[in-house]
Amino acid sequence: MHTHKIINGEQVALTTEEIAEIETQAAAYIPPTKVVPTKEELFSQMQSLQTQMQMLQAQIANLEK
Amino acid sequence: MSFILSPGSISPPLTAGGVVYGTGPQALVTSAGTAGQVLTSAGAGAPTWATPASGAMTLVSSATASSSSYIIFTGLDYTVYKEYMIIVSGVIPSQSGYALCMQMSNDNGATYKTGANAYYFNVLFLGNPAYNNTSTNEAYIAFSTPGGLDSTSSFNGMNLNIYLNSLTKTSHNGIYYNGFAEDVSFGGAPIFGGGQLVGFSGPINAVRFFINIGRLLSSGTFKLYGIT
């Protein structure tokens, strides 16, 4: 609970306007939400990984020759 | 034991800004000195006002937060001190995940620069992984770690040396800082950064600290030093 501020070392009670300002800030805050990827984005990522895996498998196969 | 000194009992008479000292049998009063001077002891002799050597640091004011909304320093005067340093130690917010913030004033704390586009700052957190954040269009300068400060007393909180110089400019008044901060998810690591006001006329003569989003400063010590 907001009750006071300290000015140059001296504790001073908050005014009702200051308390209202702080409470407004707190109430207006919207926490960031985690972005959930779409099905299409996940499918695209999977295709990209499959391509990378195929390239790595080809490199390994060349080394084993 | 305490007693009240009246003008008639002191020699010479009370002087505005003078300091009362004892000689043993008498109470005397120093002169007022001039702004920025410090009182220097002469042992059992009369103390005198002296101008600090250039580069000397003087403790101007200090404050300890205890579930406080704001820590405020007013009366910053660049005709007295060329620069200021604020040493911040052990800042813990009332809730984990929030940042220590700073705003500036050019009317000695009557109003503070707030709102979007007011501040621009960079922060580098050398944790694992390292974190580099550039923020513009902010309502304050935030001193924080990637996950925000931890509210538990098992952490040491935010520790910073904040350096204020060039605050007499008519725009882009800047600060820079270094310190060590602890975080909910990233642990502890050195932190460096700087920030500035955008389009705000100086000189800056007051600053205030708080935890963002309406949280409280559970604890923390703030010491304002002036440097001549």
CATH of the domain at B108: 2.60.120
pLDDT band at A29 (very low <50, low <70, confident <90, very high): low
The shortest CB-CB distance from A4 to any of B61, B64, B69 is to: B69
Q: Which residues of chain B have pLDDT under 70?
A: 1-13, 166, 169-173, 184, 199
Q: How far apart are the first and last CA of chain B?
A: 38
- Predicted local distance difference test score (pLDDT) of residue B138: 82
- Predicted local distance difference test score (pLDDT) of residue B70: 97
Q: A35: distance to nearest CA of chain B, Å?
A: 17
What is the span of the domain harbouring residue A59?
A: 4-64
Indicate whether B112 belongs to any domain: yes
Q: Do A26 and B213 touch (CB under 8 A)?
A: yes
Any B CB within 8 A of A32 CB: no
B107-119: b or e for each residue (b if 16 or more CB lie within 10 Å)?
A: eebeebbeeeebb
Q: Both B122 and B197 in a single domain?
A: yes
Q: Do B214 and A26 touch (CB under 8 A)?
A: yes
Chain B neighbors of A7, CB-CB under 8 A: 72-74, 109
- Predicted local distance difference test score (pLDDT) of residue B1: 38
Task: Classify burial at B45, counting beta carbons within 10 Å of its beta carbon; exposed 0-12, middle 13-18, buried 19 or more.
Answer: exposed
- Predicted local distance difference test score (pLDDT) of residue A3: 93
Please state the rounded mean pLDDT for residues A10-36.
Answer: 79
| Rounded-to-integer distance, Cα B226 and Cα B80, Å | 8
Q: Both B174 and B145 in a single domain?
A: yes
Number of domains in chain A: 1
What is the span of the domain harbouring residue B175?
A: 57-227
Q: Do B69 and A23 touch (CB under 8 A)?
A: no
Q: Both B176 and B142 in a single domain?
A: yes
- Predicted local distance difference test score (pLDDT) of residue B160: 93
Q: Both B27 and B66 in a single domain?
A: no
Q: Both B154 and B99 in a single domain?
A: yes
Indicate whether B2 belongs to any domain: no
Q: B106: distance to nearest CA of chain A, Å?
A: 16
The shortest CB-CB distance from B63 to any of A9, A18, A29 is to: A9
Indicate whether B212 belongs to any domain: yes
Q: Both B123 and B212 in a single domain?
A: yes
Any B CB within 8 A of A7 CB: yes
Q: Both B62 and B110 in a single domain?
A: yes
Q: Both B46 and B69 in a single domain?
A: no
Indicate whether B210 belongs to any domain: yes
Give the ipTM. Answer: 0.77
Please state the rounded mean pLDDT for residues A26-46.
Answer: 76
- Predicted local distance difference test score (pLDDT) of residue B2: 43
Closest to B71 in 3D by CA, of B90, B43, B58: B90
Q: Do B71 and A5 touch (CB under 8 A)?
A: yes
- Predicted local distance difference test score (pLDDT) of residue B13: 65
Q: Both B31 and B141 in a single domain?
A: no
Q: How far apart are the first and last CA of chain A?
A: 72
Single pTM value for the model: 0.74
Q: Both B134 and B76 in a single domain?
A: yes
Indicate whether B1 belongs to any domain: no
- Predicted local distance difference test score (pLDDT) of residue B51: 83
Chain B neighbors of A21, CB-CB under 8 A: none
Q: Both B105 and B73 in a single domain?
A: yes
Q: Both B39 and B108 in a single domain?
A: no
Number of domains in chain B: 2
